[in-house]
Structures are given as structure tokens and as C-alpha cells.
């Protein structure tokens, strides 16, 4: 890219966060990456001694986020782009999955992203520029049995991103919700939290889905490096989109969902209109 920027990316130890950080560094940008262990911090900073800055942060440690952002702004420099990448998948049939699992899923995927965003907004707003990328999922548009908590968190982040984009547009700022399809990351592997099975009534529906996901892990169509290049193109755009799907599977499945939704709306239009007073 023509202009060097400072990116703050949460969760740079692996997956999209690591791929984006590496590609951004290769393009000459500076990257502040959050990790959760000192070992991961050292490993990240070895990528580039001058332009890779690791910071220890758990995005669910809400009370420390503002201090970390203030320190980054002072010691590293102005944050041009925030990428809320930290997150994970919670898999489990809803009736079997405890509420604590849902709380943890939303704490990381939603509240963590919102807390990071709220911490950088005052700086970006004062400068009248900035770009926030929220990594959501095609699971923020489509659903399948067994990931209700995950889809719920990504639906929430899609909506929050769209609203925020409208709120900050007058300040010359942009918000893009990036919704990947299936990519070769750890999402379906070691990063996924799986609720133990307990109710046999769901066996026929869900067991094949769980096994197929495990078998496919590491062999998905999507290339994280190409996803990173796509995100850098969005960051470089003068008019970035509010929503970006990544992957042909996401394109196809989301288009099918929107088509089916339009058909259902038409089918029930008369009843919908009947409630007007």
C-alpha cells in the first residue's frame, strides 16, 4: 500500500490475526498485536524488530483495555486501523449447552470487540479518521444446527458494526464487518470449544455435523493469506464497504439465505401488512 499505517490487531497468535499481521508487516505497516502470553508476545515481535509490537491483553479483561490503548497511542503512535479479530467458536446443541458457555462466547466475540472499539473511538474521532474492521463470519448471516451461541454472537457483531458505521461516518471514519466463510484456520480445530453430548434425541441431526466439521478442519477451501490480502485492500480503499464476504462458499450460502428470506417475506406479506392500524 502507498501509505504506511499503524494497525492494532487482536489475537495475532494464529489464524486470520497472524496472517493479517504478517502481510501488513510485509507491506511496510506497523502492527500492534495483542496476545495472551509472554511467549506469544516474544514470538510475534520476532517477526519484525522495528514494526511488530506485542501487547499482553485478554479482550475480556475489560478494565485494562483503555489503559492499553492509551499506552499504545503514546508509545507506538496513532492507531489508524483497529482489527477486532480475537474470537472463537462454541459448538453445541442449544439444549445441551450451559448459559455460562454463551456468556463466555459473547464476552469474547461481542463484548471484547465492543470494549476495544470504545477505547479507540475517542482518538480516531478527534483525528477525524480511522477504520475499524470487525471479523464476523458467514455465521452472522446463515445458521446451522449446533452453533447457536456462535452464530448469535456474529449476528450481534454484524448489527453493531453496521450501526457504528453510521454513527462515525460524519467524522470521516469507516467500519467494515468482514464475514469469512470456511478457511484453513484453527477455528474448527483446537480453537473450538465443544459442549459434550448428553441428549440422544439430537444424535441423528447433530453427530454427523460435528464429525464432518472435525474431518474438514485444515482442508477448507479458504486461504488465510489471501483473506489477509483482501482485508488490506479494504483498508487501502477510499470507500470501503460496510460488509465484506470472504470466500466463494460464503457468497453462495449467504445469497441462498437472502433469496429464501425474500421468498418467505413475500409469502407472508399479507399477514405482515394486516397489523397496520
Q: Which residues are catalytic?
A: 150
Whole-angstrom distance, CA of residue 46 vs CA of residue 77: 20
Q: Are 82 and 19 in contact (CB under 8 A)?
A: no
| 86 Cβ neighbours under 8 A, 6+ residues apart | 10, 11, 17, 34, 59, 108, 112, 113
Q: How far is CA 181 from CA 29, 34, 48, 254, in A?
A: 26, 24, 30, 10
* Pair type for strands 173-180 and 193-194: unpaired
Cα of 214 vs its chain's centroid, Å: 21
Amino acid at each position: 500500500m502507498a501509505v504506511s499505517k499503524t494497525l492494532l490487531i487482536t489475537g495475532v497468535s494464529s489464524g486470520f490475526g497472524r496472517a493479517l499481521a504478517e502481510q501488513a508487516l510485509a507491506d511496510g505497516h506497523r502492527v500492534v498485536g495483542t496476545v495472551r502470553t509472554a511467549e506469544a508476545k516474544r514470538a510475534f515481535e520476532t517477526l519484525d524488530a522495528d514494526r511488530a509490537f506485542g501487547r499482553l491483553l485478554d479482550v475480556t479483561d475489560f478494565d485494562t483495555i483503555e489503559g492499553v490503548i492509551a499506552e499504545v497511542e503514546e508509545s507506538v503512535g496513532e492507531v489508524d486501523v483497529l482489527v477486532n479479530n480475537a474470537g472463537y467458536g462454541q459448538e453445541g446443541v442449544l439444549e445441551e449447552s450451559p448459559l455460562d458457555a454463551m456468556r463466555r462466547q459473547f464476552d469474547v466475540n461481542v463484548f471484547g470487540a465492543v470494549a476495544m472499539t470504545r477505547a479507540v473511538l475517542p482518538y480516531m474521532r478527534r483525528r477525524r479518521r480511522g477504520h475499524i474492521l470487525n471479523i464476523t463470519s458467514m455465521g452472522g448471516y446463515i445458521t446451522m444446527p449446533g452453533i447457536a451461541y456462535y452464530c448469535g454472537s456474529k449476528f450481534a457483531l454484524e448489527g453493531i458494526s453496521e450501526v457504528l458505521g453510521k454513527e462515525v461516518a460524519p467524522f470521516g471514519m469507516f467500519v467494515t464487518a468482514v464475514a469469512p466463510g470456511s478457511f484453513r484456520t484453527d477455528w474448527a480445530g483446537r480453537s473450538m470449544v465443544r459442549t459434550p453430548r448428553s441428549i440422544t434425541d439430537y444424535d441423528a441431526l447433530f453427530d454427523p455435523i460435528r464429525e464432518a466439521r472435525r474431518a474438514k478442519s485444515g482442508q477448507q477451501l479458504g486461504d488465510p493469506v489471501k483473506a489477509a490480502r483482501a482485508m488490506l485492500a479494504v483498508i487501502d480503499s477510499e470507500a470501503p464497504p460496510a460488509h465484506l464476504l470472504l470466500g466463494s462458499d460464503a457468497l453462495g450460502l449467504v445469497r441462498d439465505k437472502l433469496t429464501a428470506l425474500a421468498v418467505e417475506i413475500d409469502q407472508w406479506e399479507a399477514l405482515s401488512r394486516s397489523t397496520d392500524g
